[in-house]
Amino acid sequence: MSAISLKSHNTLRLDSSCLRLFAPLDTDELVSFYRKLDNPIILGNGSNVILASKIMNDVIVTGGLDAINIDSPTVYAQGGVKTISLSQKALNEELSGFEFLIGIPGSLGGAVLMNASAHNQSISDFLIFCDAYDKEKDEIVRIEKRDCGFSYRSSIFKKNDKYIILGACFELKKSEKGLMLEMMNENIAFRKEKQPKLSLPNAGSIFKNPENDSAGRLLDECGMKGETVGGAKVWEGHANFIVNTGSANSTDISQLMFKMYNSVREKFGIELESEVLFVGEKNDIEREIWDIMLRNK
C-alpha cells in the first residue's frame, strides 16, 4: 500500500503521510468512520499542528463538515468550516464577533479546541454550546459553554482527547457592516506586518505568551531570529514563528522549538509552553524533546 501525502493538509507543508485518508461529508459519516477504524487521527485545516514524519495509519480530515446555518443572531457551524469563511459569512449577515477570524487560517474545530483569540476577541466569547463525539461513551454529546473549560489557548477539548468537535453554536451581535469591515481590514493589516504570509509555510505562533509578557519578545532578546535546524527556520520578522524553507520535517521543527525553549529558560528562567500540537507518533528524539517541553504542563 503506497502512502498518501498530507502536505496539502497542514499549513507548515510538512511532507508527512498516511496509509489511508478519509474525508467524511457529514457528522454521521465521520462518527461511522471513527467507529470502524483503530484510533484514527482527526485533522482539520492543519494549522497549529506539527505532523509526525513517521507514516500514520488512518487519518480523517474534517473539511467536508462545512455547513453554516444562520438564524440571526444565532450561528451554528460544523467543525470543518474554515474560520476565514466563517468570518466572511458573519460579515455578510452583519453579525459581529468573528472579525478576528479573518486572519486565522484554521478550522472551527481547531479554533474551539485552542480557544483561538486575537485583537480582544476570542472564539469562546459568544459560544453557547458545542456538539462533540465522545469516544469513551461512543455517542454524540452537547457540551454547554460553562463546561468547556475555556482559558487562554486551552479548553476541555485540548486537555481531554476523548472528544471530536462536530460543531458549535454562537450568539453574535448585530452590527454595521462598515464598522466590521474596518476592524477586519485592521486585523489583516496587523497580520501582514507581524506574521508570515499565508503563502510562507508556518503553523502560527509557536509558544504561548507568558503572563504579562510576550514569547516573541523573549525569543528576540535571545537572538533566535533566523536560527535554523534542517529545513526549519525562525522567521526573521517575528521570533515566535517557525517557517518551513522547503524540506523541514517534524524532527527539524521539534529540535528548533527546543533550542527556542532552552534559550528563554536559560536567559530568563521562563519555561515557554507550546501553542502548537504534535500530531502522530514521535520518534525517540522527538519524544525526549516533547517530554521535557510538556513537563508540568
Residues assigned a catalytic role: 153, 205, 275
Q: From residue 297, give the alpha-carbon distance in Å to each of 111, 130, 158, 242.
A: 20, 25, 12, 22
Measured CA to CA, the distance from residue 271 to residue 282 in angstroms comes to: 21
Q: Which DSSP category does 42 fall into?
A: E
Measured CA to CA, the distance from residue 128 to residue 253 in angstroms comes to: 36
Largest CA distance in the chain: 54
Grouping H, G, I as helix, E, B as strand and the rest as coil, residue 131 is strand
Cell of 101: 477570524
CB count within 10 Å of CB 274 equals 19
- Residue 48, Ramachandran bin (φ over 0: left; ψ between -120 and 50: alpha; else beta): left
Measured CA to CA, the distance from residue 86 to residue 67 in angstroms comes to: 10
- One-letter amino acid at 47 equals S
- List of residues 6+ apart from 270 with CB closer than 8 A: 210, 213, 218, 264
Number of helices followed by number of strands (H, E) in the chain: 8, 18
